[in-house]
Structure formats: C-alpha cells, structure tokens
Amino acid sequence: MSLTLEKKEEKKEGLKQVIGRRIAATGNYAAALAVRDADIDVAAIYPITPQVQIAEKIAEFVADGELDAEVIHVEGEHSALSAVVAAAATGARAFTATSSQGLEYMHEILYIASSLRQPVVMALATRALSAPINIWNDYADAFGMRETGWIMLFSENVQEVYDNLVQAFRIAEHPDVLLPVVVTLDGYILSHTVEPLEPLGREEVLSFAPKRPRGYRPVLDPDYPITVGTLGTPHWYYEAKYQQVVALRESKRVIEEAGREFGKKYGREYGLIEKYMMDDAELAFVSLGATASLVKAAVDRLRKEGVKAGMIKIRVLRPFPADEIAEALENVEAWATLNRAISYGAAIEEPLFTEIAAALAVRGIVKPMASFVHGMGGRDIFVREIVEMYKKLDEIRRSGRRVKRTYFWGVKGHDPEEDQAM
Amino acid sequence: MALSKPVRTIWDIPREERFAPGHTMCQGCGAAIIMRHLTKVIGKDAIIVQATGCVEVTTTAFPRTSWLNPWLHLAFENAGAGASGVEAALKALKRKGVIDPNRKIKVVAIAGDGGTFDIGLQSLSGMLERGHNVMYVVYDNEAYMNTGIQRSGATPLGAWTTTTPVGKKMRGELRPKKDLIGIALAHRIPYIATASPAYPTDMVEKLRKAYETEGPSLVHIISPCTPGWRIRNEDTIKVARLAVLTGMWVLLEIVNGKPRVTVKVPKRKPVREYLKLQGRFRHLTDEEIARIQKMVDEYVEEINRWVGEQAIGPVEE
C-alpha cells in the first residue's frame, strides 16, 4: 500500500527538517501511520468497508512491533466505541475507525463519548448509508453525527488525513478541551487512492501532540476514585449539557492554535476554513472533504473564462466556523453550497446550507444563495457539472430570483429546476 | 486490599463497609445486599464498569454516590465492552510503565439480567471470548425492574410481569429462563458460579475466587426484588433461601469446566413453598405449579448427572 518515492531533504527556510521522506500512500494507510506515530495505547478494531485497511494496518504494526498497543478485536462498532471511551477514561490514548453503518451502530455511544468528555480519536472513511446498501462515498454518515458533540475535521487529501489525525490527538487531549475528535476521509476517493504523503514520524508527532499533557489525569484512578456516568436528574443535567456547549465552542481556540503551530513547524498551516481565490470572488461555493478539490478545479476553469469564482472549504464542521464563513462570504455577490448529504424533510434539504444561511442571517447578511446536492452513494461529480452549478448561481444572481429548494443535481431523468416548482 | 483469605464463616467477611449508605434502593432489595458484599471483596484497587439498571440509577444520582471505587457507567448494553476497554488500557499502560506493572488492579463489570441476558449478551460474549481479565457480576432479579417489571430473558416460567400479564388467554411468562451459565460455559472461561444473598459466605467466597481468577470470570447471583416479585420487604432472604432449598436455584461453581454444587440440598422442598410467597406467581393453578415442579425435577436431575453425585436430593413434603 505504500512505496518510497524519494529520499528528500527539503531546504525550506525556517522549517524544521523533519521530512525524511515522501512516500505514496492511500488515505487508510496515512490514517494508520498517524495512529502509529501518535503511539496510541489502545485500538478497538472492527471491519467495515472502506475503512477496514486502517484496522488491518494497525494490527500489522502491532504484530511487527512497530506499535505497542492493545488491540481489542471487538464484536461490533457499538462495543468498539464503548471500549475506547472506557480505555480513554483509564488514561490511554485510544483510537478506533469506522464507516457508514458502523458509525450508525455506535451512534448511541457517540453522545456518551462527548458527554463524558473522553478524548478519543476516530477516523471515519465517509460512506453512504443503507438502504439500498452502498459502500461508496458520500457524507450522510458524517452529517448524521453533527449533533453528537464531537469535534469534526474534514480532510481534502491524503496528507490532510495524516495531519488532521496528528492534530486530533493534541486537540482532543488538551486539558481545556477533553472532547472526542473525528477525522473524515472520503471513502475510496481518499481511503483507497494513492497520493504523496510526508509522514512526520513518531518523534515529531509526540512532540507536537504529547501524551498525557500537563493537567491531564485519568478519570478512573483507584487512588482518586470518582463516579463517572452518573444519573443526571433535572436538577443537574442541564448544567452538564451547558458545560458541553461551552467546551465545544471554546475548543475553536485550541483547534486554531494547533493548526497555526502545525504550519509553523511543518509548513502546512490549517485553519477552520480554507479560502480559495476568494479575494475578489463574486460567486462562491462552499464545500468540504475531497469534493472541495473538484470545486477548486471548477474555479480554475471558470477563472480562465473570466468568471470571478471562488470557493471556501470547511475543514472544521464542528464547532461550526460561523464567524469565519460569514466574514469570507460578506463581500461575494452570491454563494452556494455543494454537499454529498441530504437532510430529509428539512427546510432546505442540503444540510450545510442551513447552517451557513443561519450564520449569515443572524449577522444581517442576505444575498442570492442556493444549495446543491450531488455525488450521493459514490456517484461521480464531474468538474464540468460544478461549472454548470456556478453558472446556475450566476443566473440566480442576475435574475434576482429566490431559490427556495435544494438543487438535486445529476439525478437521472430529472431536471433540477423542477425541484423549485415542487 | 482485596479479600485474599478463603471465606468459611461469616466472621471471614470483612467488616469494612465500602458501599456507602444514602442510595435509593428499595427496602429489602437483594441487589443492595449483593453490592455491599461485592465491594467488601474487591477492595480499593478495582475499577467498576456498570451497566444501566436499578443499581446504577439508585447509587449515582449526581452529586451523590455510593461508590468508593473508580466507577464508570456508559450505557445499558456495553458493560462487557467498557470493561474490556478498561482492562486493555491497564494492560497497555502497565506495559509502557505509566502504571506500576506490579500493582494489581482488577476490572469488575456489574449488570442486571436485562443488561446481561438480553441487550448486553453480545458485548458479554465478546468480552468472555477475547479472554479479558474481567470479573463479571450479574444481579438477576428476573425482569426489567428499573423500568417497572417487564419480562426479560431471565424471567422464569409462569411469572407475572407487566409485559407477561395474567389474562384470560395468557397466564404469565410462557418460556423458562434462559440458560446463562450454559452460555458462559460455551465460552470456556476459567471461573463461573451461581450465588445467592441467602448464603453470604458461599456468595462472598465465590466473588473472592472470581476476583482472584486470571481471565474472565462470571458470577450469577439471584437478586429478589420486593416490588417486582411482589414479596414483603422482610422476605428477601427467605425467598432467596427457598429458591435454593426447592432446587429452583442451584448453587454451582464451575472451575475450568469442572462443576460442583457448593451448597448441597439433601432433601428438597416442593416448589410451591417458593412460589406461594411471591405475588408474581399467585395466579398459578395446581396444574401449573405441577408443571413447574416437573421442570425443576428435570433440572435437578440434569445437575446431579452433570456433577456426578446426588447433590440435590428428592422432594420431601
């Protein structure tokens, strides 16, 4: 799954010379490497496509003595997450990975992980949800966990899978945060695609994301026994929930700090969002994951035609970067979202749109806007289709008409404009 | 310190109380007696993982707690998985020198019959099969008592519950109790036992042995429930004892697959004596009681064959 391309000694000014080599790796392999380099103590593994190679690789690293961790071969994802939450409470750096139905199966424990403030890290190779059963990529699984109180980092390419996971351990275990973090990688599109990767190696990862940082203590300690996971009566439940609201809100600072320092040390800076050709953009699309790469390609094509197109990539879906997005969209003439997820029966059926529209509305920013769904269940999205979406947005801007429904692009035998009439 | 000496008499049970008062369990609750003795056995260096259930909700209403041990509750069906995670973490952290490798810290999972026989069976099976060094204690009150007496896989034949009501067409639970010990046996774990709070020395000694066992152990304890079984608060121990004396509940110990009856009953009492004390069996006709008697006779015979002696004798009126 990996081969060394070249021995590389980069001489970038001011950068730490940690990049020993550039390798070619799939997203799954990059995830397993990050976990190995983070020296996790416990992994719970259970096979599901398309994340299964992460589980296999971790098992291999342990079998080869490259990683000293306890691997729990759980009997299902519900137990996988239960086990790593319990392991984290015992003081271990704990990890699991899943996809799609596996995430749904552990859904109950997603809330418990964040409510008990356990800093577990999970990789999610995003995949469509049944039925019909489908093993290919979309973001239905990831968007289904937005309400569960996790920090959610989306990756655009294989390098970001590795970098996000490294940062995830630092963010999750930060004494001011203590929340679980999920890092997504688009199923197949990233999980199984070989791309160049510069891993940092264990020494660097452990210096960037040190284990058991100051102020961190195991929750389950016989010398300091406490009761965790208590009954919260109406007298106290609400207070616990509000603390969780504040913790997730304030994790933003730690996420930004980690992204900045990562940039300083390794030359790849990470923010809550990434802006692409936004300085003078008139038409902007917001997207996330590997889909953002396609939108960037469409922007390049449109720029050649003289269209002032730009794009915003959301890296951090939770906590939602409302201020940053509002600021980025303040000066565009029209904006739209492109997403691979559906919120059935919602006011707007593309779920990213509702959040951005709300973030803008409360700040008094109202302008032509639209939302697009495409690429469900691994349906390819072509750059020319995104160019067409930009043109649709341009037409909406010019005509000044209000678009009240999501455009379902690329459905066979369906004109997306018909959705507006429904 | 965990109890390390064998328990032969009541005087061998530690006097120190490690289950704090102030919880909201019912008067006469069997589970409260079990928890009190369990915590005496396991001492300070044990981490408890508890399933949702009566004991969990009645002992941990924030900001109060009855537990002097580190204690974790995740959900209903995952005590086995949570305990596996704690045990794996202890193993890794000891190996890596974060925790003193010579310190013995035992993981204890506690669940009721619903969290074990039904919704938690998968997670229990995974934990047993993977060989985690966890002691699993089931307090079996034979129905979902916490939600208000609904039938579980542990509800015995004929018992009234709110979901096996006594009506014109159906009269209580239609099926006998699930064989949890058989399920545990199939996992070939080193230590399995049944116990009863009516026999405290036997129960405490079994909990001690389960604690000492390297690898998975399971102790299945009958836990009379005063509101659920419709018994008087002061009859908990009497009913628990009659379960043993009638052969409805046999006190077993299975070490590495070798079974033994620890409390022999040379002369059995008829099951009627056990049933008549409990409101949940009040509707039973003579015919239905005879059916239960026959079922118990067969069960006793099976046990005697299995242990290779007449451990439980014939019924004597």
Tens of pLDDT along A233-285?
Answer: 999 999 999 999 999 999 999 999 999 999 999 999 999 999 999 999 999 99
Mode of pairing for the β-strands spanning B258-261 and B252-255:
antiparallel
CATH superfamily of B17-263: Thiamin diphosphate (ThDP)-binding fold, Pyr/PP domains (3.40.50.970)
| Chain B CB within 8 Å of residue A87 CB | yes
Nearest CA in chain B to A91: B89
Tell me if A41 sits within 8 A of A232, measured CB to CB.
Answer: no
CB A128 within 8 A of CB A227: no
* Res A18 pLDDT > 60: no
Residues 6+ apart with CB under 8 A from A40: A67, A69, A92, A93, A94, A95
B158/A109 Cα distance (integer angstroms): 36
Shortest CA distance to A298 belongs to which of A390, A378, A367? Answer: A390
**Which H or E run includes A241?**
helix A237-266
Q: Please indicate whether the domains covering A15-266 and A273-421 agree at the CATH topology level.
A: yes
Q: What distances in angstroms separate CA B112 from CA B35, B54, B142, B243, one per listed residue?
A: 12, 8, 9, 18
- A21 to A17, A199, A267: CA distances (angstroms): 11, 8, 15
The full 3-state SS of B64-105, as one line of letters, equals CCCECCCEEECCCCCHHHHHHHHHHHHHHHHHCCCCCCCCCC
Which member of A70, A219, A236 has the closest CB to residue B88? A70
* Sheet of A21-25, strands arranged across: A3-7, A21-25, A195-197
Please state which CATH class domain A273-421 belongs to.
Answer: alpha beta
CA A182 to chain CA centroid, nearest Å: 6
Q: If you average pLDDT over every residue of chain A, what do you get?
A: 95
Report the Cα A234 to chain-centroid distance in Å: 34
Q: Is pLDDT at A213 greater than 80 in this prediction? A: no
Q: What is the mean pLDDT of residues A172-188?
A: 96
Neighbouring-strand partners of residue A95? A43, A121
At A10 the pLDDT is 46
Instruction: Tell me the per-residue pLDDT of B256-279, one tens digit each, with 9 for 90 and over.
Output: 999 999 999 999 999 999 999 999
Rounded to a whole number, what is the distance in angstroms from the first to the last CA of chain A? 48
Classify each residue of A339-365 as buried b or exposed e, where b means 16 or more C-beta atoms within 10 Å of its C-beta. bbbbbeeeebbbbbbbbbbebbeeeeb
Output the pLDDT for position A15. Answer: 47
Architecture of domain A15-266: 3-Layer(aba) Sandwich (3.40)
Cβ under 8 Å to B: A residues 215-234: 219-222, 224-233
Give the per-residue pLDDT at B105.
97
Predicted pLDDT of residue A215: 66
A172 Cβ contact partners less than 8 Å away, ≥ 6 residues apart: A119, A120, A121, A151, A178, A179, A180, A181
CA distances from B241 to B36, B205, B227, B260, B277 (A): 18, 17, 18, 19, 12
| Per-residue pLDDT tens digits for A71-80 | 999 999 999 9
pLDDT of B74 reads 98
- A374 CB-near residues (< 8 Å, 6+ apart): A338, A340, A381, A385, A408, A409, A410
pLDDT level of residue A216 (50, 70, 90 thresholds)? low
Query: Tens digits of per-residue pLDDT, A119-144?
Result: 999 999 999 999 999 999 999 999 99
Between CA B60 and CA B44 the distance in angstroms is 18
Residues A192, A31 contacting (CB under 8 angstroms): no
- Asked if the Cβ–Cβ distance from B82 to A44 is below 8 Å, we say no
pLDDT tens sequence across A31-69: 999 999 999 999 999 999 999 999 999 999 999 999 999
> Is there a contact between A101 and A80 (Cβ–Cβ < 8 Å)?
no
Question: Nearest CA to A341 among A329, A359, A353, A326?
Answer: A353
Task: Please tell me if residue A272 touches chain B, with a CB cutoff of 8 Å.
Answer: no
Is residue A403 within 8 Å of A347, Cβ to Cβ? no
pLDDT at position A421, please? 84
Do residues B63 and A236 touch, judged by C-beta distance below 8 A?
yes
Of B98, B99, B123, the CB nearest to A79: B123
pLDDT at B3: 86
Domain ranges in chain B are 17-263
Residue with tokens 């109060």: B64
A8 pLDDT tier (thresholds 50, 70, 90): very low
Question: Closest to A83 (Cβ–Cβ): which among B73, B82, B96?
Answer: B82
Amino acid identity of residue B54, one-letter, is: C
Q: In this complex, is the C-beta atom of A83 within 8 Å of any C-beta atom belonging to chain B?
A: yes
- The three-state secondary structure class of A295 is helix
User: What does DSSP say about strands B71-73 and B46-50: parallel, antiparallel, or unpaired?
Assistant: parallel
Pairing of strands A151-154, A316-318: antiparallel
Residue A147 has pLDDT above 50, yes or no: yes
Which one of B62, B68, B125 has the shortest CB-CB distance to A230?
B62
Q: What is the DSSP letter of A210?
A: -
Cβ contacts of residue A141 below 8 Å, gap of 6+? Answer: A99, A100, A103, A104, A124, A126, A127, A128, A129
Partner-chain contact B89 A69, CB within 8 Å: no
CB B74 within 8 A of CB B82: yes
Q: Where are the domains of chain A?
A: 15-266, 273-421
- Number of other residues whose CB lies within 10 A of the CB of residue A415: 11
Q: Which of B74, B104, B132, B134 to mutate to test the interface with A (most CBs of A within 10 A)?
A: B74
Chain A nearest C-alpha distance from B285 (Å): 42
Residue B118, pLDDT score: 98
- ipTM of the complex as predicted: 0.97
pLDDT for res A14: 44
Over residues B95-120, the pLDDT tens digits come to 999 999 999 999 999 999 999 999 99
What SS3 state is found at B217? strand
* Residue B72 · residue B49 · CB < 8 Å: yes
pLDDT of residue A7: 44
Q: Which residues of B touch A70 (CB under 8 A)?
A: 88-89, 91-92
Of B266, B273, B225, whose CA–CA distance to B248 is shortest?
B273
CB contacts of A238 in chain B (<8 Å) are: none
For residue A79, list chain B residues with Cβ-Cβ distance below 8 A.
Answer: 78, 80-81, 84, 122-123, 126
What per-residue confidence (pLDDT) applies to B317?
Answer: 76
pLDDT tens-digit readout, A329-377:
999 999 999 999 999 999 999 999 999 999 999 999 999 999 999 999 9
Work out the end-to-end distance of chain B between its first and last CA atoms, rounded to an integer number of angstroms: 46
Q: Which three-class secondary structure state does DSSP give residue A183? A: strand
Does residue A9 register a pLDDT over 60? no
In this structure, are residues B284 and B159 in contact, taking their beta carbons and an 8 Å threshold?
no
Assigned token pair, B313 = 């004798």
**Which residues, given as ranges, of chain B have pLDDT below 50?**
none
Per-residue DSSP letter, B62:
T
